[in-house]
Amino acid sequence: MKRSLITLAVFAAGATLAAGAAAASPATLTIRHQLRGCHTWSLNGDPFAPSQTVKLARGTALTITNDDVMPHALVQLGGPAASVTNLMPSGKPAVGAANAHPGRMGRPGAESRVVFAHPGVYRFTTKAGEDYMPGVKTIGPDNVLKLTVVVR
């Protein structure tokens, strides 16, 4: 019985460490086009919605991919200053003119990486541009994308 309890305690400690490590792993957010509401985003492959909330460990990176039919610019509304970098198609950070407007995702597949160095509550939205191609149909008013990031 004692051996079983020790084994169980070691297993539980390992599971707790694994859960803690998962919180520090990179997160992904994907913006897509849809008929009702124009656009939504999905966090780590979860259901698409206009508002997302994520809890991350300090120092964690969030990569945002624009798979919408219009450009998006990430705008920070509140919280400590986040570090935003545009990414090249290779996934490497953009430099020079390519990163002149951090958070601007001006083409399908464009990505930005946000790193959260300080604990706090960060709030973001996107400013959507015009459709890349004419004739894109939507139903109802466009969604306003909102993101809340809680960093511990």
Radius of gyration of the chain (CA): 19
CA distance 152 to 137: 41
What is the residue-wise DSSP string for 136-149?
---BSSPP--EEEE
pTM for this predicted structure? 0.78
Domain range annotation of the chain: 24-151
Per-residue pLDDT tens for 100-139? 889 999 888 999 999 999 999 999 999 988 766 677 788 8
Per-residue pLDDT tens for 64-75? 999 988 899 999
Around Cβ 137, how many Cβ atoms within 10 Å?
7
Q: How many CA atoms lie within 13 A of 138 on its CB side?
A: 17
* CATH code linked to domain 24-151: 2.60.40.420
Q: What is the mean pLDDT of the chain?
A: 82
